[in-house]
Amino acid sequence: MKPSQNTIISFYENLGKLFYAIAAADNVVEEVEFDVLKKIVKNKWTKVDPVDDDFHSDAAYQIETVFDWLNNEGFSNSETCYNEFLDFKKEHPSLFTKDINSLIIKTAGKIAASVSNINKSELMLVAKLSIELKK
């Protein structure tokens, strides 16, 4: 059964939470991390599923919207964002195909590596995510 449009939009919103959690794992979200995310969303995530959101924009842009909102609100608990993503994953396992999981890991890794001083807490969260996605 194909997921509903609302489920797909929620999927992208939860990816925004996840990628924010990666960027905020060291308690600092650098502008370059958001820039890397925007580039990957435009070049990769918008090609995944042709679902539009309520504003007739590709739903993949919800990743950026949620990331930016969390950052602007000064939300600092990356663990909460990460756990909300995992809860969504458990509720919708069919969305997490091998190709999607690979793109998630690549995106998370590029966000973590975007700052010249690769942060240990960000890399540890990417490794933890990689293990979780293999379950």
pLDDT band at 36 (very low <50, low <70, confident <90, very high): very high
- Span 82-132, pLDDT tens digits: 999 999 999 999 999 999 999 999 999 999 988 866 678 888 899 999 999
What pTM was estimated for this model as a whole? 0.90
Q: What angle do CA 103, 125, 38 make, to 5 degrees?
A: 45
Model confidence at 22: pLDDT above 70: yes
Exposure letters 24-45 (e unless 16+ CB within 10 A, then b): bbbeebbeebbebbeebbeeeb
The pLDDT tens digits for 37-64 are 999 999 999 888 766 555 556 788 999 9
